């Protein structure tokens, strides 16, 4: 049953069937959905949409009007006797209830990954909507202002500082249809984590995150059928894709107020130390530090992401490939810092334990990157899936340990991307 109500009467649990107005008057990319996110509800209330249609057969209905209670005066206790006289009337009131303080998205207080995953999921959804709108604006030729993105970068930076792996784990669960936006968020988080690991200044950490967000902005002008093509690109199509570096640099330069480091990353994040990169074939010291950082973060996330035409690499294997094949391509010192930032066994890695079980890495151990926290999910002895407690290998006194990295292909896990996403989501 459909019911039209005012936007301000919308509550969590309602199923949105239709939102009045154009696509540009509301903050959502789809009109039909179950509203279960408080931040989405706040976005809807703050939008220009005045009326919505809800489907009460698929979600909550409007609460019936409640009668206005009559005012009840507090009942005074009997007047106390003070040495034979009536004392003052004493009215006993209930103690005030404690007020829950709202979560501060800019807080940098350390949180365990289970707690931070909740905040990271909300932040990723909100940031994804912002990036989608940003790409739409770029296609329309609207200028990008760094100041408008600073809050988002600061919130991602705070999440990475509270727990350096939660937001990165969330952004690994990419929807291939929105790869560009989510890739930007992933690289932003990776750049921030790497910059923190390199002990850069707070201002440089913000610039690194902003560069990660914007370096592929030129792809907004590349036809989607080209960068989503499920076949090898023709030389002409490849030239179009490579033009995204110069397009982003020129567009952001015209907008003004963009840090020089961000512009340099947009232009040079595909340059390589041996001169084999593009667009200008720079080599060695010709490539700036931020661009060297971006080259590693961009390559790692591209390798580990699922696309329409291929499944992503296991994170551990991606690190090995960059290490083995990238000696002449990437800065070795920056790569060592990157490896410390994501861990020897990055979150989402598939490993085999001494207890004859397969497990997924769910949290890093900052004191020893070889001893992360893992979540066993498959018994090799019983050849069956199991539900078991997480194991902190750094605090289990040798009761279990990682024997080797594994690959999903080695175990015929064609559904590993979806399976790993579900296993990681348990932490939220």
What is the model's pLDDT at position 80? 47
* Distances, alpha carbon 415 to alpha carbons 77, 101, 282, 361, 387, in Å: 69, 41, 40, 17, 18
- Examine the pLDDT at 372 and tell me if it is beyond 70: yes
Q: Which of 108-117, 239-248, 273-282 has the lowest mean pLDDT?
A: 108-117
Q: Give me the residue spans of the domains in the chain.
A: 2-55, 113-342, 350-425
- Whether the pLDDT of residue 183 is over 80: the answer is yes
Which tokens belong to 382? 């019983």
| Cis? peptide before 416, omega within 30° of 0 | no
Across 282-288, average pLDDT: 96
Chain segment 320-338, per-residue pLDDT in tens:
889 887 678 999 999 999 9
Residue 403 CA to residue 406 CA, distance in Å, equals 9
The pLDDT of 281-304, averaged and rounded, is 96
Does the structure show a pLDDT above 70 at 192?
yes
Residue 84's SS3 state is coil
Chain segment 135-180, per-residue pLDDT in tens: 999 999 898 988 889 999 999 999 999 988 788 877 876 666 678 8
Give me the pLDDT at residue 225, please. Answer: 79
- The CATH fold assigned to 113-342 is Hypothetical protein af1432 (1.10.3210)
pLDDT in the model for residue 415 = 74
Least confident of 30-34, 146-150, 239-243, 317-321: 30-34
CB 309 within 8 A of CB 320: no
List the helix and strand counts (H, then E) for the chain.
14, 12
Q: Compute CA 158 distance to the chain's CA centroid, rounded to the nearest angstrom.
A: 12
Contacts 24+ apart (CB under 8 A), 283-292: 288/261, 288/264, 289/334, 290/207, 290/208, 290/211, 290/261, 290/262, 290/264, 290/265, 291/264, 291/265, 291/267, 292/330, 292/331, 292/334
Instruction: In whole angstroms, give the CA distance from residue 312 to residue 304.
Output: 4
Judged against a pLDDT cut of 90, whether residue 305 lies above it is answered with no
pLDDT in tens, 36-78: 878 778 878 877 788 899 999 888 888 775 555 555 545 444 4
For the chain, what percent of residues have pLDDT higher than 70? Answer: 85
Supply the pLDDT for residue 95.
55
pTM: 0.71
């Amino acid at each position: 049953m459909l019911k039209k109500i005012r936007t301000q009467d919308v509550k969590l649990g309602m199923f949105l069937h239709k939102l009045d107005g154009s696509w540009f008057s509301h903050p959502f990319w789809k009109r039909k959905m179950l509203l279960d996110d408080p931040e989405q509800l706040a976005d809807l209330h703050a939008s220009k949409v005045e009326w919505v249609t809800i489907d009460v057969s698929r979600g909550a209905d409007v609460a019936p009007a409640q009668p206005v209670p009559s005012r009840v005066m507090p009942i005074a206790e009997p007047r106390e006797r003070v040495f034979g006289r009536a004392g003052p009337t004493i009215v006993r009131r209930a103690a005030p209830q404690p007020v829950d303080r709202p979560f501060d998205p800019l807080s940098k207080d350390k949180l365990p990954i289970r707690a931070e995953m909740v905040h990271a999921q909300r932040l990723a959804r909100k940031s994804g909507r912002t990036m989608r709108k940003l790409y739409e604006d770029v296609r329309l030729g609207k200028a990008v202002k760094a100041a408008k993105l600073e809050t988002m970068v600061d919130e991602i930076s705070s999440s990475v500082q509270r727990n350096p792996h939660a937001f990165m784990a969330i952004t690994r669960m990419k929807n291939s249809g929105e790869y560009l936006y989510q890739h930007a968020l992933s690289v932003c988080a990776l750049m921030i984590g790497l910059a923190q690991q390199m002990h850069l200044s707070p201002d440089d950490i913000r610039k690194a995150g902003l560069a990660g967000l914007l370096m592929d902005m030129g792809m907004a002008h590349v036809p989607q059928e080209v960068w989503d093509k499920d076949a090898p690109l023709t030389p002409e199509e490849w030239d179009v894709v490579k033009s995204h570096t110069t397009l982003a640099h020129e567009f952001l330069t015209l907008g003004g107020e963009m840090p020089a480091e961000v512009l340099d990353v947009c232009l040079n994040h595909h340059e390589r130390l041996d001169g084999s990169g593009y667009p200008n074939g720079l080599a060695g010291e010709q490539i700036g530090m931020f661009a060297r950082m971006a080259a590693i973060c961009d390559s790692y996330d591209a390798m580990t992401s699922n696309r329409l035409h291929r499944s992503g690499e296991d994170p551990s294997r991606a690190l090995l490939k960059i290490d083995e094949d990238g000696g002449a391509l990437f800065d070795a010192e920056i790569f060592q810092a990157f490896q410390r930032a994501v861990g020897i066994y990055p979150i989402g890695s598939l490993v085999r334990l001494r207890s004859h079980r397969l497990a997924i890495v769910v949290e890093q151990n900052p004191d020893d990157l070889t001893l992360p926290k893992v979540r066993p999910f498959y018994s090799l002895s019983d050849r069956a899936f199991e539900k078991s407690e997480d194991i902190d290998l750094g605090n289990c006194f040798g009761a279990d340990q990682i024997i080797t990295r594994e690959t999903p292909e080695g175990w015929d896990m064609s559904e590993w991307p979806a399976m790993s996403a579900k296993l990681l989501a348990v932490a939220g």
